[in-house]
């Protein structure tokens, strides 16, 4: 399919993509999202848009820098657009993701992670890298399904055992930073982003299970302190 959005540029510093960021469009139709992502006045884009029926629209060439992520950070990277491939899923934000759409996403992800040697734990949500601003792809997105296909990550059964000691915001935040969540966004935003992805439906103050899951993820997939190679 042709690349149709004019909203892209060169990746800064000559880097290659090492992250994949998943979004929902938050619009009422795929066509409305397509039109906006291709509108030069909107100055937004993504590499791909996947409709509810599973049609994949290729909008920006993968080697180029699409404008999908905005301000945020992950694993010490603050220019997410230069380091990532962005995939938009047509969804208003409060609806389940259709089965054909999820299947198309899995097929696309399987190709991208091989093409760019992207590790499963570097497939993230928009809310992961921008927890103060974004909520997508939201608590209705099936991250566990992607993890079963080795296209993202999910905590193992050991993480369901509550962590010993006090469940404190500081303990949770430290583990969240080790996994890759950005610094300086505040405990409440980190907890909300984490729960939307890994413990949908959990409410209230941080608890021992939140910390157990977050520590297990951070210990298994710690942030690499080295800068990404170009």
The answer on 184 and 142 residing in a single domain is no
Name the residue with tokens 């404008």: 67
Q: What's the CATH code of the domain at 84? A: 3.40.80.10
Do the domain assignments include residue 227? no
Q: pLDDT tens for residues 187-198?
A: 999 999 999 999
Domain coverage including residue 111: 8-148
Mean pLDDT score, 208-228: 83
The answer on 129 and 54 residing in a single domain is yes
Q: Number of folded domains in the chain?
A: 2
77 pLDDT higher than 50: yes
The answer on 134 and 88 residing in a single domain is yes
Portion of the chain with pLDDT greater than 70, in percent: 93
Of 148, 181, 199, the position where a domain reaches its end is 148
CA atoms within 13 A on the CB side of 213: 18
The answer on 103 and 29 residing in a single domain is yes
The answer on 31 and 53 residing in a single domain is yes
The answer on 93 and 24 residing in a single domain is yes
The answer on 205 and 102 residing in a single domain is no
Of 88, 116, 148, the position where a domain reaches its end is 148
Do the domain assignments include residue 83? yes
Do the domain assignments include residue 230? no
Of 148, 170, 192, the position where a domain reaches its end is 148
Do the domain assignments include residue 226? no
Say what the pLDDT of residue 160 is: 65
Active site residues: 88
Say what the pLDDT of residue 2 is: 47
85 forms bridges with which residues in the sheet? 20
Q: pLDDT tens for residues 134-168?
A: 999 999 999 999 999 999 999 987 666 776 677 89
């Amino acid at each position: 399919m042709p690349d149709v959005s004019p909203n892209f540029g060169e990746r800064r510093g000559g880097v290659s993509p090492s992250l994949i960021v998943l979004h929902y469009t938050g619009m009422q139709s795929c066509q409305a999202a397509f039109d906006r992502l291709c509108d030069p006045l909107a100055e937004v884009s993504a590499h791909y848009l996947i409709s509810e029926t599973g049609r994949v629209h290729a909008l920006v060439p993968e080697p180029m820098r699409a404008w999908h992520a905005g301000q945020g950070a992950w694993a010490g990277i603050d220019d997410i657009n230069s380091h990532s491939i962005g995939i938009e899923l047509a969804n208003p934000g409060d609806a389940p993701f259709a089965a054909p759409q999820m299947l198309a996403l899995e097929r696309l992800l399987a190709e991208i992670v091989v093409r760019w040697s992207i590790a499963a734990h570097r497939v993230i949500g928009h809310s992961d890298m921008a927890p103060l601003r974004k909520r997508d792809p939201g608590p209705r997105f099936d991250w566990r399904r992607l993890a079963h296909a080795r296209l993202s990550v999910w905590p193992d059964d050991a993480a369901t055992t509550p962590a010993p000691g006090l469940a404190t915001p500081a303990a949770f935040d430290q583990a969240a930073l080790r996994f890759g969540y950005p610094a300086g966004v505040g405990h409440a935003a980190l907890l909300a982003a984490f729960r939307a992805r890994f413990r949908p439906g959990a409410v209230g103050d941080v608890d021992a299970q939140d910390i157990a899951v977050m520590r297990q993820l951070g210990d298994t997939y710690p942030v690499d302190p080295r800068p990404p190679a170009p």
